[in-house]
Structure 1
Amino acid sequence: MIDHLRDGFGVDPVCRVLDLSPSTYFARKQRPKSDRRLRDAQLMLLVTAAWEDSGRTYGARRITRTLVRAGHRVARCTVERLMREPGIEGVIRGRRRRTTVPEPTAPACRTWSTAGSPPSVRTSCGWPT
């Protein structure tokens, strides 16, 4: 983020706004990549290739098995994490995942009506308005 803003504002003002010392920013820029990050970059290529070879149908379990058969040591949780970052997903068979999304035009619901209020009408959430 700082790299995008440093040309226009400079490092010191951006770090001041982010409540970060400039020496921390420069130390992070000079630090070599960690072993995990380097291995993740290699595995990401393998995971993507296995997913593409399967016709974009394999999930984390099958991709893990494919990579292990090919001679790579990789855990399923690692493959799950690597698939989650770019949003790679296997084909979902059977019932789809269902999430509840509130209707943006639905009226706000009250839990109880008072004695002097007009007759209640049931809404989408089931409570009288």
Structure 2
Amino acid sequence: MNRFQFVADHQCRYGVKRLCQVIGLARSSFYHWKATAAEREARRCAGDRLAARIRVVHRKSSGTYGVVRITAELGEAGHLVNHKRVARIMRGIGLSGLRRRRRHRTTIDDPAAAEAPDLIGRDFTA
């Protein structure tokens, strides 16, 4: 339970001004939270619908698609959404793409090569 919900639950008994003073909350913040409750609920519902679409695309790809490909699939289906939002929702529902990339070896030592001579004559003993 957050502080705003606490004030909303107890405002009939103690009053908003008193509760906000005790908790250390600005009354204007409480009233702003109360006024924007419908917008937060709409955003949460939209996020739930998007999470369902993401699950479908992820399942259709056998769990291989990550954020970039799922965002592209959603865009092709007509659901324009930012990749950061897709990443946040995927993280929230516990989905991730498959990483198949191999590590590329760029330098291969020649076993037949001779060791470089020490031309300076350095001594590294302690």
- TM-score by length of structure 1 reads 0.49
Q: Per residue, is there more helix in 1 or in 2?
A: 2
Say which one has the larger Rg.
Answer: 2
Q: Which has the higher contact order (CA 8 A, sep 6+)?
A: 2
